[in-house]
Amino acid sequence: MSVGRICSRVVATATPGETVRTAARRMADNDVGTLVILDADGTRPAMGIITDRDVAIRGVASGLDLDRTPVSQIMTTPVHSVNESMPIEQALARMANSATRRLLVTGDLDRPVGILSLDDVLHLLSAEAGSIGRLLGTQQAHVRGEPSSLV
């Protein structure tokens, strides 16, 4: 299965000069925990990402003035990205190699089309594990001669 099938397709952005408070408000408005940092005209590849954790740890806990501190001061660089057609297994290997829980998902011309989080992968795995569990339960009932019922 490809990354593009399970990633979040909501891509909220900010520019490096925006304040941390503005970025945090954008996260709240878009109900996201990650913003992709793009240059003002959006023509170059992503410059960084900022997460709600970055705001809390690098901004609030560090005592920065959120109304004056630019996003560029707390953003994470470099941005680790994958193409939306990449198999999930390869994306997981990239996450592990780069020690990150989120990858920017890109499409044509390396434009951002989504965010793949470790939570997205875990959700897929738990759904598949549930299906396997139901299958095993049905097969065990069949072996014992019980009527099967799918839940």
3-state secondary structure (DSSP) of residue 103: strand
Q: What is the pLDDT of residues 53-88, one digit of tens each?
A: 999 999 999 999 999 999 999 999 999 999 999 999
> pLDDT at residue 144 above 70?
no
Q: Which domains does the chain have, with CATH numbers?
A: 3-144 (3.10.580.10)
Given a cut of 60, is residue 150 above it in pLDDT?
no
Give the chain's end-to-end CA distance (angstroms, integer).
Answer: 25
Rounded CA separation 56/66 (Å): 10
Q: How far apart are CA 81 and CA 122, in angstroms?
A: 19
